[in-house]
C-alpha cells in the first residue's frame, strides 16, 4: 500500500412515525491506494457459472414439458356412446 485516506461518514437520517428522527450508525470509510497493480484471477467472477445454471434450468423445463406431453398422450378417455347404443 502506498497510502490510505480515511473518511468519517455520518449515518443516514430516517424520519419515523411520530415525527422523531432515527439515524443509522456512523462509520469510517477507507480509500486504499496500492503501489503495484494487483492481478486478479480469471475465476474471480465466474460468469460461465450463471450460463451453465441457465442451461440446466432450460433442460429441466424441457424435460418437464416432455413428461406432461407423455402423460396426456396416454391419458384414459371416457367412452362416448354411439347414437345407435342406448344410453343409461
| Residue 85, pLDDT score | 55
The pTM (predicted TM-score) of the whole model is: 0.36
Average pLDDT value for residue range 67-83: 67
Residue ranges of domains in the chain: 45-74
Average pLDDT value for residue range 53-63: 91
| Residue 59, pLDDT score | 93
DSSP state letters, 35-77: SSPPPPPGGGS-HHHHHHHHHHHHHHHHHHHHHHHHHHHT---
CB 36 within 8 A of CB 1: no
Lowest mean pLDDT among 16-20, 25-29, 39-43: 16-20
Half-sphere exposure of 74 (CA within 13 A, CB side): 5
| Residue 76, pLDDT score | 60
Amino acid at each position: 500500500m502506498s497510502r490510505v485516506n480515511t473518511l468519517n461518514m455520518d449515518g443516514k437520517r430516517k424520519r419515523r412515525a411520530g415525527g422523531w428522527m432515527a439515524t443509522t450508525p456512523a462509520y469510517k470509510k477507507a480509500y486504499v491506494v496500492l503501489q503495484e497493480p494487483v492481478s486478479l484471477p480469471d475465476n474471480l467472477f465466474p460468469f460461465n457459472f450463471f450460463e451453465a445454471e441457465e442451461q440446466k434450468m432450460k433442460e429441466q423445463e424441457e424435460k418437464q414439458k416432455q413428461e406432461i406431453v407423455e402423460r396426456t398422450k396416454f391419458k384414459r378417455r371416457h367412452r362416448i356412446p354411439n347414437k345407435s347404443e342406448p344410453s343409461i
